[in-house]
Amino acid sequence: MPANTTLHPFVPNFAVPPGESLVEVLEARGLSQADLAERTGRPKKTINEIAKGKAAITPETAIQLERVLGISSSFWNSLEQNYRAALARLEEKERLKEHVGWLSSFPYKEMIKRGWIENQSDKVELVQELLNYFGVASPEAWSELWQRGKEATAFRRSPAQNVTDLGLVATWLRQGEIEGRELECSSFDAARFKAALTKIRLKTADIDVHETCDFMVEECRSAGVAVVLVPEFPRLGICGATRWISPDKALIQLSLRYKRNDQFWFSFFHEAGHILLHGKRDVFVEQTKTIKSVEEEEADRFASGFLISSEEYRRFVNSGYFDRESIIDFARLLGIAPGIVVGRLQHDGHVSFGSKLNDLKVALAWAED
């Protein structure tokens, strides 16, 4: 899980007016402000206001200073531009003081811990870090985007729209978008993606889950689908999400919420179902406690049927043999992990969730765990 590595240049908390440099040059040349006014043909008041930072050095004035002082107009223009930019930053920082309370809407301490944003002792600078993270200019712009704008419109189509902690969801989704955009992919090809899913399904039986995940990512990349794994936040309850981040690039984002291979693979194929079955304008966010929409039920059926065909599953269930050996043999016949079979049987009520067969499931963990 790569940390965000955006580098921010040093920005001073003060602004130096170009008039100070002008005064220094005049003193070094033995010229007074009155001398400069006479040589440039500018009013003495204007030169004095420039020296005090009350008036700007215009491009015309910069040319006049070049002729009189022998210092290029680009130097004076650059000083003025940098000064105005510094003033704007300071004014914005002052304005953002009113939005320090906005920080409480986001898990910024955990974001710092994960390396998603940089730690700042100044709360206003933390607000700026969050704005940079979300790629918005202001807290108002964030609210417009996530509560009324493009993200909100797509998000309202998801059952997760009722979540009360929008800040947590938005943060998690944004990290997936950042990592997904960094992942180079081929243009989306539905046929190639279906073929990749078939290969990935057979790899679920491999013992090395991390190697299988790498295989999954590479196969999906070649089909135009970015797959990223992003740890969830406490209380969030998100298993996965799917959306299109460009017309020819889809994104599957997984959280490892239950940290068992059966749930992980079901979530992956569920999200894959959204890509193949549903529109590119929608955002699908799977949470544990939401009323399922028609699209979610369709994605569930896709995942269930892709992992274990309904005919084979019905035949196995009708046999009535749910012992360890029978499950392992059935999984071997299908070419999938035994834990997936156990999870399906538990979901359908054929095996208890507290069964000793749970040891057929493979535990998953983040590398830093």
- pLDDT tens per residue, range 188-205: 999 999 999 999 999 999
**Which residue reads 């969030």 in tokens?**
236
Query: What length is written for the chain?
Result: 369
Residues 6 or more apart whose Cβ sits within 8 Å of residue 253: 172, 173, 176, 180, 227, 228, 229, 230, 240, 241, 242, 271
Number of other CB atoms surrounding residue 124 within 10 Å: 18
Helix (H) / strand (E) element for 253: namely strand 249-254
Residues 6 or more apart from 14 whose CB is under 8 A from it?
A: 86, 90
Distances (CA, A) of 31 to 27, 34, 67, 77: 6, 8, 15, 21
Q: What is the pLDDT of residue 9?
A: 55
Note the helical H segments in 150-233.
150-155, 166-182, 190-203, 209-221
Instruction: Label residue 61 by pLDDT band (50, 70, 90).
Output: very high
Residue 95: CB partners within 8 Å, gap ≥ 6? none
Q: Which residues of 349-369 are buried (b: 16+ CB within 10 A; e: fewer)?
A: eebeeeeebbebbbebeeeee
What pLDDT is recorded for position 197? 98
Domains in the chain: boundaries: 18-95, 100-144, 152-307, 310-360
Give the per-residue pLDDT at 11.
54
Mean pLDDT of the chain: 89
Tokens of 90: 């300071």
pLDDT, mean of residues 333-343: 95
CATH class belonging to 18-95: mainly alpha
Could you read off the pLDDT of 103-146 as tens digits, one per residue? 999 999 999 999 999 999 999 999 999 999 999 999 999 998 88
Residue 47 has pLDDT above 70, yes or no: yes
E strand or H helix at 250: strand 249-254
Does the structure show a pLDDT above 50 at 161? Answer: no
> pLDDT tens digits for 217-269?
999 999 999 999 999 888 788 889 999 999 999 999 999 887 889 999 999 99
> CA dist 166 to 117, 225, 290, 307, Å?
19, 26, 15, 33
Model confidence at 162: pLDDT above 50: no
| SS (HEC) of 319-368 | HCCCCHHHHHHHHHHHCCCHHHHHHHHHHCCCCCCCCHHHHHCCECCCCC
DSSP reduced 3-state for 227: strand
Mean pLDDT of 152-156: 54
Q: What is the pLDDT of residue 158?
A: 54
**Cβ-proximal residues to 127 (8 Å cutoff; 6+ apart), any chain:** 96, 99, 100, 102, 103, 139
